[in-house]
């Protein structure tokens, strides 16, 4: 009886943890798909809304990614180079 | 006792089984979760770059169409715009210092959003409308031209005597350039020639039965045919021409089934028997004007100069490499299936080259022996017998859009190798603080601090085809790139020349992401000296552009326990 009870408890704990993991996996699957779909829908919506191409094409709708637009203009002072501008 | 021990052992094993299974399968699940997260973020980056590239391409096409050029019309440099984005994004990871790995994401987008799709350019507009391919590397903007607009006087090239070697990518750049020079020199025609030159060398040639004339008359007929076709110029309308100057020529690709009439019988195409060809070759010296003219006349359209009898005889139209090497001629059996062949065209006037600006007829020719055709927009025949040609050259831009294995320069474009350096000293750092740090003022225990302040220096190299002066001027300094823009557009926020704004009205954007120019690479002055290693550098000696992206990464986390509700000793 003691053996069965221990196994049952361990199984219960394991099941709870596994359920959380599976729930997390489902949520991540959902997020992974929705992230792509939302970005696509947002862009399509922006491109078809209104009649001004400048506004339509300049939109960042769905652009959830931080832009890489900067080049560091400070000084790299480790002796290997000088990027001072 | 033994039984009990065994039983206890079994109990212990069974008790740990569930935990082990949980650990194993849990680890697998967590690994899968991590993989999904990393893949999803990567897909998001890629999708974002793809959509942005398409939007930016269409926006550039649209914006250019609204900018007035010199004639008050739209710009078509971006009519069929192509944008390439290269971004090195951090990849999600569990590390002491956070995300360290960077993955490159490359996206290419093309778009057309312009009312000038089939707009025929006038010569004065071409300079402002050479096509541009835009490359963004970690936010740095490099607008590469894929053509150039030049005006050049075509002269007889000075190069040593010799025969051009066969092409095919096996030649060194020096050999390749010499090859082009030899081809151009060999095909360059100039000087004075008389009908007597031909009649004299034709003497003794046995004629076929269909040509019921003397060999002397046959040579005169060839001369007259050259005059009629424009290869020999001179006084016209004053009777038969007996002497004239040989005109410079240009090559054009034509359909392979083109033929010309026999100068002795206009009702028949020009076909010579192998015996006739052989005799002519023996009589005419290859470097003589007469031979060149005869060669030229045959190249003007004989579809099968050797009459198909022997492939070892010259057949200029099917000498596609134009090096007079019969082993490289198109085999006779394949000639019916070849879509084009070279045709020589006399270049004496706009009419002779079929240049008609009033009807927007701009022909394409190979004008300098490169085997590459250019679009001719202007032509002037000089008094010394040389033409000055104004043309758009698809091989003359920053990127040779017509590059192939026969081109002399290296393959242009973004190279496969890239390097990344991370600077972490003296002002930039990776730092971890752990453990207790009691602050008597706030009653807080700082448990963990993780900070980073680094510069990732990523080097990419782009092989350019020509130094067009767009990035570096002749004095070795970065050039201010000026591009027209619509007043509502925003300039790129990169480069030391950038003002970030388009001036009012139809204004200009001024920018250049190139920071250092190196004219003659030497041990003390190159793109890898300590002063230049971190900067975007253009080595004009080999047209290699080193793009150095400096990405600052300043992030961290600061986790602490709030002890404000607990007892404290003041």
pLDDT in tens, B526-552: 898 888 888 899 999 889 999 998 888
- Binary contact (B55, A57; C-beta < 8 A): yes
Mean pLDDT of the region B107-124? 88
Please tell me the predicted confidence (pLDDT) of residue B236: 43
pLDDT of residue B512: 81
Q: What's the distance, Cα to Cα, between the start and end of chain B in Å?
A: 63
Write out pLDDT tens, residues B468-481.
988 898 888 888 77
DSSP assignment letter at B538: E
pLDDT of res. B312: 37
CB count in 10 Å sphere of residue B528: 14
Over residues B101-121, mean pLDDT: 89
* Nearest chain B residue (CA) to A11: B18
What pLDDT does residue B155 have?
75
Of chain B residues 136-155, which have a CB less than 8 A from chain A? 138-140
Q: B217-242, pLDDT tens digit by residue? A: 666 777 777 677 666 665 444 445 55
Partner residue opposite A78 with nearest CB, options B22, B423, B493: B423
Residue whose C-alpha is closest to residue B560's, from B451, B437, B432: B437
Partner-chain contact A70 B113, CB within 8 Å: no
B323 pLDDT higher than 90: no
Closest in B43, B59, B139 to A36, CB measured: B43
- The answer to whether the Cβ–Cβ distance between A81 and B530 falls below 8 Å is yes
Q: How far is B136 from chain A (nearest CA, A)?
A: 9
Mean pLDDT value of segment B114-121: 85
Q: How far apart are CA B427 and CA B25, in angstroms?
A: 44
Residues 60-119 of B with CB under 8 A from A: 62-63, 87-89, 113
Question: Does residue A85 form part of some domain?
Answer: no
Give the number of domains in chain A.
1
Q: Write down the pLDDT at residue B421.
A: 78
| Most confident range, picked from B116-120, B478-482, B564-568 | B116-120
Contact check, Cβ <8 Å, A29/B36: yes
Within 543-562 of B, beta carbons closer than 8 Å to A belong to 549-552
Q: Does the pLDDT of residue B166 top 50, yes or no?
A: yes
Considering A13-27, B316-330, B344-358, the range whose residues carry the highest mean pLDDT is A13-27
Contact A14 B22 (CB under 8 A): yes
Q: Which residues of B touch A23 (CB under 8 A)?
A: none
Closest chain B residue to A73 measured between Cα atoms? B550
Cβ contact, residue pair B425, A43, below 8 Å:
no
Mutation site for A-interface testing, chosen from B12, B16, B18 by largest number of A Cβ within 10 Å = B18
Would you say residue B260 has pLDDT above 50? no
- What is the pLDDT, as a whole number, of residue B481? 77
Contact of B13 with chain A, judged by CB distance below 8 Å, is answered with no
Query: Is the pLDDT confidence value at B214 over 80?
Result: no
More confident residue, B165 or B283: B165
Nearest to A10 among B18, B47, B55 (CB): B18
| Better-scored residue on pLDDT, B148 or B210 | B148
pLDDT of residue B466: 92
What is the C-alpha to C-alpha distance for residues B130 and B113, in angstroms, rounded to an integer?
17
pLDDT confidence tier of residue B253, bands split at 50, 70 and 90: low
In a domain, A84, yes or no: no
Report if residue A76 sits inside a domain: no
pLDDT at residue number B546: 94
Q: What was the pLDDT predicted at B22?
A: 75
Q: Judged by CB atoms within 8 Å, which residues 447-506 of B form the interface with A?
A: 455, 457, 488-489, 493-494, 496
CB pairs under 8 A between A and B: 152
What DSSP state is assigned to residue B478? B
CB-CB neighbors (< 8 A) of B14 in chain A: 3, 6-7
Residue A81: exposure state from Cβ atoms within 10 A (0-12, 13-18, ≥19): buried
The pLDDT of residue B135 is: 93
pLDDT value of position B537 = 93
CB contact under 8 A, B552 and A70: yes
What per-residue confidence (pLDDT) applies to B398?
A: 94
A63 is a domain residue:
no
B430-455 pLDDT per residue, tens: 666 666 566 666 666 666 777 777 78
Mean pLDDT of chain B: 73
The most confident of B63-72, B122-131, B542-551, by mean pLDDT:
B542-551
Domain hosting residue A12, numbered range: 2-58
- Contact: B139, A71; criterion CB under 8 Å: yes
Question: At CA B59, angle to CA B55 and CA B61, rounded to 5?
Answer: 120
CA-based nearest residue to B165, from B323, B372, B312 = B323
Q: Is residue A65 part of a domain?
A: no
Q: Taking a C-beta distance cutoff of 8 angstroms, is the pair B261, B268 a contact?
A: yes
Assess if residue A44 is contained within a domain: yes
How much is the pLDDT for B305?
Answer: 42
Most A CBs within 10 Å: which of B33, B34, B45, B55, as the mutation test of the A interface?
Answer: B55
In chain A, which stretches have pLDDT less than 50? 78-85
B24-28, B201-205, B338-342: which is most confident: B24-28
Per-residue pLDDT, B433:
65
Residue of B407, B280, B250, B247 whose CA lies nearest to B344: B250
What's residue B57's pLDDT? Answer: 92
Q: Tens digit of pLDDT for each residue in A52-74?
A: 888 888 776 655 566 665 566 66
Q: What are the distances in angstroms from CA A44 to CA B61, B82, B309, B493, B544?
A: 19, 20, 65, 27, 39
Query: Residue B539 has what pLDDT?
Result: 93
Chain A partners of B530 at a C-beta cutoff of 8 Å? 79-82
pLDDT grade for B308, boundaries at 50, 70 and 90: very low
Higher pLDDT, B371 or B485: B371
pTM here is: 0.75
B355, B347 contact by CB (below 8 A): no
Interface of B with A in 512-541 (CB under 8 A): 513, 515, 530-535
- Band of the pLDDT at B270, cuts 50, 70, 90? low
- Mean per-residue pLDDT, B506-516: 76
Per-residue model confidence (pLDDT) at position B102? 86
Helix (H) or strand (E) holding B342: strand B340-346
Cβ–Cβ below 8 Å for B40 and A7:
no
Asked if the Cβ–Cβ distance from A82 to B30 is below 8 Å, we say no
Of B22, B32, B43, the CB nearest to A17: B22
Rounded to two decimals, the ipTM of the complex is 0.78
Query: Residue B188: which residues within 8 A CB-CB, separation 6 or more?
Result: B156, B157, B248, B249
């Amino acid at each position: 009886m003691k053996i069965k009870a221990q196994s049952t408890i361990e199984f219960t704990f394991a099941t709870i943890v596994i359920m959380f993991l599976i729930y997390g996996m489902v949520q991540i699957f959902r997020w992974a798909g929705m992230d792509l779909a939302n970005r696509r829908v947002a862009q399509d919506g922006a491109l078809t809304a209104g009649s001004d191409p400048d506004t339509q094409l300049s939109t960042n709708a769905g652009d959830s990614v931080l832009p890489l637009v900067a080049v560091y203009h400070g000084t790299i002072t480790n002796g290997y180079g000088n990027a001072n501008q | 006792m033994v039984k009990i021990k065994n039983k206890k052992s079994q109990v212990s094993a069974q008790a740990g089984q569930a935990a082990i299974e949980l650990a194993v399968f849990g680890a697998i699940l967590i690994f899968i979760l991590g993989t999904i997260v990393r893949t999803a973020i990567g897909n998001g980056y890629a999708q974002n770059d793809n959509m942005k590239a398409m939007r930016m391409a269409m926006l550039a096409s649209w914006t250019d169409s609204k900018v007035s050029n010199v004639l008050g019309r739209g710009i078509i440099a971006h009519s069929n715009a192509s944008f390439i984005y290269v971004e090195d994004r951090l990849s999600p990871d569990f590390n002491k210092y956070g995300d360290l790995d960077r993955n490159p994401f490359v996206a290419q987008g093309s778009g057309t959003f312009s009312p000038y799709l089939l707009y025929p350019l006038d010569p004065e507009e071409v300079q402002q409308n050479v096509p541009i391919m835009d490359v963004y590397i970690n936010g740095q903007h490099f607008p590469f031209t894929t053509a150039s607009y030049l005006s050049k006087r075509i002269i007889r090239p000075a190069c040593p005597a010799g025969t051009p070697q066969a092409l095919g990518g096996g030649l060194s750049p020096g050999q390749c350039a010499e090859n082009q020079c030899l081809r151009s020199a060999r095909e360059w025609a100039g000087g004075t020639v008389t009908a007597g030159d031909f009649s004299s060398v034709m003497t003794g040639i046995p004629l076929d039965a269909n040509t019921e004339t003397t060999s002397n008359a046959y040579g005169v007929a060839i001369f007259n045919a050259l005059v009629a076709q424009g290869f020999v110029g001179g006084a016209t309308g004053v009777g038969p021409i007996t002497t004239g100057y040989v005109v410079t020529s240009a090559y054009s690709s034509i359909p392979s089934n083109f033929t010309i009439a026999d100068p002795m019988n206009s009702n028949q195409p020009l076909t010579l028997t192998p015996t006739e060809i052989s005799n002519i070759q023996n009589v005419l010296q290859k470097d003589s004007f007469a031979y060149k003219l005869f060669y030229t006349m045959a190249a003007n359209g004989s579809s099968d100069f050797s009459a198909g009898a022997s492939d070892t005889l010259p057949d200029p139209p099917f000498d596609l490499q134009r090096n007079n090497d019969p082993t490289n001629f198109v085999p006779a059996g394949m000639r019916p299936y070849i879509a084009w062949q070279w045709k020589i065209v006399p270049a004496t006037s706009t009419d002779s080259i079929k240049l008609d600006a009033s009807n927007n007829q701009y022909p394409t020719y190979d004008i300098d022996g490169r085997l590459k055709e250019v679009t001719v927009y202007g032509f002037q025949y000089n008094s010394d017998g040389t033409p000055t040609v104004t043309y758009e050259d698809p091989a003359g831009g920053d990127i040779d859009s017509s590059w192939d294995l026969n081109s002399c320069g290296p393959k242009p474009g973004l190279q496969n190798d890239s390097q990344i350096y991370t600077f972490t000293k003296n002002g930039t750092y990776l730092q971890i603080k752990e453990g207790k740090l009691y602050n008597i003022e706030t009653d807080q225990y700082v448990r963990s601090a993780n900070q980073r302040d680094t510069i990732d220096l990523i080097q990419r190299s782009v092989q350019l085809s020509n130094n067009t002066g767009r990035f570096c001027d002749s004095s070795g300094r970065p050039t201010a790139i000026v591009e027209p823009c619509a007043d509502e557009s925003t300039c790129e926020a990169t480069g030391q020349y950038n003002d970030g704004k388009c001036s009012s009205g139809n204004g200009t954007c001024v920018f250049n992401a190139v920071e250092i120019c190196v004219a003659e690479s030497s041990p003390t002055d190159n793109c890898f000296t300590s002063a230049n290693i971190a900067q975007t550098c253009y080595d004009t000696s080999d047209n290699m552009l080193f793009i150095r992206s400096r990405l600052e990464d300043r992030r961290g986390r600061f986790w602490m326990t709030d002890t404000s509700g607990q007892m404290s000793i003041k």
